[in-house]
Structure 1
Amino acid sequence: MVESYYLAAFIAVSALATFATRVVPFLFFERHTDHPLVKHIGRFLPAAVMALLATVFLQRSATWQATLPGLDALLPALLVVMIHLWRRNALLSIAAGTVAYMAAQQSGLFAPGL
């Protein structure tokens, strides 16, 4: 019984902390949206974060011991870029990349030593 209260309190505190981290920037930076630094960060940070995520994905998800190292992650990543440049639809490009990556993993086509 005590464990249930502990778990409920943990979930409540986690939810509150998560919500607070989403709300606080809007409350404190609402008046500073015209500041040059905020505009600069808003323009370049999303691309930098996506580049970092892509780098981490390629490092962690690719099979680097395969005959063609990293191709199992590079091809879906290239597909994501091509579809996004073509359609400008993030959901479509992410879904296509996910399907392509999972198909490459499940097929075993890029398994080590093949």
Structure 2
Amino acid sequence: MDNTTYILAFIAVATAATFATRVIPFLFLSRHHEHPLLLHIGRYLPAAVMALLVVVFLIQSASWKAPAFGIDALLPCAVVIALHLWRRNALLSIVAGTAVYMVIQQAGLFTS
């Protein structure tokens, strides 16, 4: 098998697997959309995933050393929280927090 065939086969399998994982829940759970477990998951899972992402971000990206002691991660989090409480716009909050984080990282602020 040459490289082109291998790459095309890989793309086809990856596409089919991605599509299947998106469609299968709708096919199998369409008759149970009012089930209490699915309603519970739909209500609380998005917030739980976001909380997990924040924890992982704070653990992995912050430099928890003096003198900054994590300000490089805590400042963007504070911007996201403040903007979201003020404007109630998730996209604005995420974009602004990402921008603040990237400015801090690219400018080398708060590094020891």
The two structures have a TM-score, normalised by structure 1, of: 0.91
Report what 2:67 is aligned to. Answer: 67
Letter of the 1:21 partner, please give it. Answer: T
Q: Which runs of 5+ in 2 are unaligned?
A: none
Q: 1:16 and 1:70 mapped to 2: Cα distance?
A: 42
Q: How has the CA–CA distance of structure 1 residues 66 and 105 changed in structure 2, closer, same or farther, with 3 Å as cutoff?
A: farther
Alignment root-mean-square deviation, CA: 1.3
Deviation at 1:68, TM superposition (A): 2.2
Give yes or no for contact 2:68–2:111 (8 Å, CA) kept in 1: no
| Structure 1 equivalent of residue 86 of structure 2 | 86
2:80–2:96 Cα contact (<8 Å) kept? yes
Amino acid aligned to 2:82: M
Q: TM-score, with normalisation over the residues of structure 2?
A: 0.93
What is the percentage of aligned positions where both structures have the same residue? 63
- After TM superposition, give the deviation of residue 16 of structure 1 in Å: 1.0
Are positions 1:54 and 2:54 aligned together?
yes
- C-alpha deviations, 1:46-90, integer Å up to 9, x for none? 111000000001111111224121110111011112212222222
User: Which residue is equivalent to 1:98?
Assistant: 98
2:13 alignment partner in structure 1: 13
Q: Structure 1: which 5+ runs fail to align?
A: none
Matched, 1:2 2:8: no
Cα distance in 2 for partners of 1:64, 1:97 equals: 19
**What is the number of equivalent residue pairs in this alignment?**
112
Could you list the per-position Cα deviations for residues 2-45 of structure 1 after superposition, in whole angstroms to 9, with x for gaps in the alignment?
A: 11100010011001101111111111111111111111111111
Structure 2 residue aligned with 1:28? 28
Q: 1:109: how far off? A: 1.9
Partners of 2:25 and 2:5 lie apart in 1 by: 31
